[in-house]
Amino acid sequence: MANKDKKAGRIIAASIIAVLIIALAFWCVFSAAKAKGVLSTLKVSSTTALLAGIFLVSVLGYLLGSITIKGINLGTAGVFLVAILFGYLCTLSGLENIPVLGNFFIKNSSATLNTYYSKIVQNIGLVLFVASVGFIAGPNFFKNLKKNAKSFVLLGATIITSGAVVAALFSLIPGIGPEFAAGVLSGALTSTPGFSAALEAAESIGTSTDIITLGYAIAYPFGVIGVVLFVQLMPKILKADMNKERELLKIGSEQKKQLPSSLFEIDSFGLAPFAMAVILGLLLGSVTIPLTGSGYNGPCFSLGTTGGILIMCLVFGHFGHMGKISLRVPDRTAKVFREFGLMLFLIGAGVSGGVSLVSEISKSELGAMIVVYGLVGGAILTIIPMVVGFIISKYVLKLSLLNTLGSITGGMTSTPALGTLINTAKTDDVASAYASTYPIALVLVVLASQLIITLLG
């Protein structure tokens, strides 16, 4: 009987509280409507708009990416497409005059909100993703690299060289030029370092950088989608036995280095070693080396944020400890960071790309036709290097299918495609091939972007 009385008392108390909350909410809305309107109750700051935009794009993007046709879907790349559309819609004139929605308005590519997306959201996402890949691939990386080092170097060089040759030929088309071609190349390879190198090379010879930005923005979407679809389609086209392919790739979790149980763990989630590796990676990526006799006034090379963090996290993941201090990041932490980081990276890149696309097209003398040139060129510069790399890997280097596809994602410097390949292959071991090929491709795409402009400009 006492229990029934307690239960009844809780129900009465909950009902009273609910009525009070509803009454208070109604009074607030009624007062606002009487004064300035219901929408005046929503006070949306730029920070709130940024956060709302991130999670809105993520929900819609994952819904789009989940649509599967004959076993093929966009996966996380769906986030990228929605982000591009979101970035474009945020530039529409008149949006700034609409209550609440006006807070999402982006005036141009240098607007504060777009800077948040492109500089903060995108870079945080990139750091989380690349660092996670390094920790996941680390235990097996050096063993796989030792076994296939020559193949990975040759494959990375082949992919970038074939892309650079096609870009050079593309630049000879009347009205295109080396600057636009270099932008398209870096977009097709989704390479921010390559894009930055092209901008620096253009500035060093006194050429406008706007056309490079346009080429990059136009080619980038297909550079993402093309590689994502390629790594899903090839196993189906070849009718590959994925169980067999996983066995060929598998090094075996039992062969991975185990950390002694006596090691001191700073935190159970591995956040402290993760942060330490990122800090050291940022420092490593900041080291800049001049490439010519002009010193730091001429073209320079650095590993950048991506390369520095990837290498440092591979080292941390390989050794697993420093003395008695554990450097291990649990798989559960690394996998969550990998997916979350990829999502943030695609949102930042997509929104920025959607805004840049609108602003840069309006500046171009060729108008909408430049989009056609960029789309066709971007598609060609995405497809040909992958096909050439696949043929060389399969028939010359004799690599397994998953090692081949992992190397292609690294050679194409495609962050989103690696996430898709891991889901397709159902094993994290493909990250080793990506991590082995990526640094080679990173160096070569930077050099290729600079050479196309400086030699052909």
Q: Say if residue 31's pLDDT is above 60.
A: no
Select from 251, 278, 279, 301 the least CA-distant residue to 444.
301
Residues sharing a CB contact under 8 Å with residue 82, sequence separation 6 or more, in sequence order = 57, 60, 61, 64, 350
Only one residue has tokens 């219901």, namely: 38
How far from each other are the two terminal CA atoms of the chain, in whole angstroms?
90
Q: Say if residue 110's pLDDT is above 60.
A: no
Q: Say if residue 256's pLDDT is above 70.
A: no
Q: What is the mean pLDDT of residues 153-178?
A: 87
Tokens read off for 107: 């005036």
Strand partners for 419: none
Q: Say if residue 435's pLDDT is above 70.
A: yes
Q: What is the pTM of this model?
A: 0.69
Select the more confidently predicted residue: 44 or 376. 376
The three-point CA angle 73-75-81 to 5° equals 95
Q: What is the pLDDT of residue 240?
A: 85
38 occurs within a structural domain = no
93 occurs within a structural domain = no
| pLDDT tier for residue 252 given thresholds of 50, 70 and 90 | very low
Q: Are 191 and 413 in contact (CB under 8 A)?
A: yes
Q: Say if residue 257's pLDDT is above 60.
A: no
Q: What is the mean pLDDT of residues 124-132?
A: 86
Tokens read off for 218: 């136009």
Q: What is the mean pLDDT of residues 133-145?
A: 77
d(Cα 345, Cα 266) in Å, to the nearest integer?
A: 28
Tokens read off for 227: 């590689």
Select from 269, 167, 284, 160 the least CA-distant residue to 215.
167
| pLDDT tier for residue 205 given thresholds of 50, 70 and 90 | low
310 occurs within a structural domain = yes
77 occurs within a structural domain = no
105 occurs within a structural domain = no
Q: What is the mean pLDDT of residues 376-384?
A: 91
**HEC letters along the chain:** CHHHHHHHHHHHHHHHHHHHHHHHHHHHHHHHHHHCCHHHHCCCCHHHHHHHHHHHHHHHHHHHHCCCECCECCCCHHHHHHHHHHHHHCCCCCHHHCCCHHHHCCCCCCCHHHHHHHHHHHHHHHHHHHHHHHHHHHHHHHHHHHHHHHHHHHHHHHHHHHHHHHHHHHHCCCCCHHHHHHHHHHHHCCCHHHHHHHHHHHHHCCCCCHHHHHHHHHHHHHHHHHHHHHHHHHHHHCCCCHHHHHHHHCCCHHHCCCCCCCCECCCCCCHHHHHHHHHHHHHHHHCEEECCCCHHHCCEEECHHHHHHHHHHHHHHHHCEECCEECCCCHHHHHHHHHHHHHHHHHHHHHHHHHHHHHHHHHCCCCCHHHHHHHHHHHHHHHHHHHHHHHHHHHHCCCCHHHHHHHHHHHCCCHHHHHHHHHHHCCCCHHHHHHHHHHHHHHHHHHHHHHHHHHHC
Tokens read off for 104: 């999402």
What percent of the chain shows pLDDT beyond 90?
8
d(Cα 382, Cα 225) in Å, to the nearest integer?
A: 10
Q: Are 385 and 411 in contact (CB under 8 A)?
A: yes
Q: What is the pLDDT of residue 245?
A: 85
99 occurs within a structural domain = no
Q: What is the pLDDT of residue 253?
A: 41
Supply the range of the domain harboring residue 135: 130-341+366-456
Q: Say if residue 28's pLDDT is above 60.
A: no
| pLDDT tier for residue 328 given thresholds of 50, 70 and 90 | confident
How many domains does the chain contain in total?
1
Select from 144, 194, 178, 200 the least CA-distant residue to 412.
194
pLDDT digits (tens, 9 = 90+) for 44-80: 677 777 788 888 888 888 888 888 777 777 777 788 8
Count the neighbouring beta carbons within 10 Å of the beta carbon of residue 279: 12
122 occurs within a structural domain = no
pLDDT digits (tens, 9 = 90+) for 215-239: 887 888 888 888 888 998 898 888 8
How big is the chain by its Cα radius of gyration, in Å?
25
Indicate the pairing of strand 288-290 with strand 325-326. unpaired
46 occurs within a structural domain = no
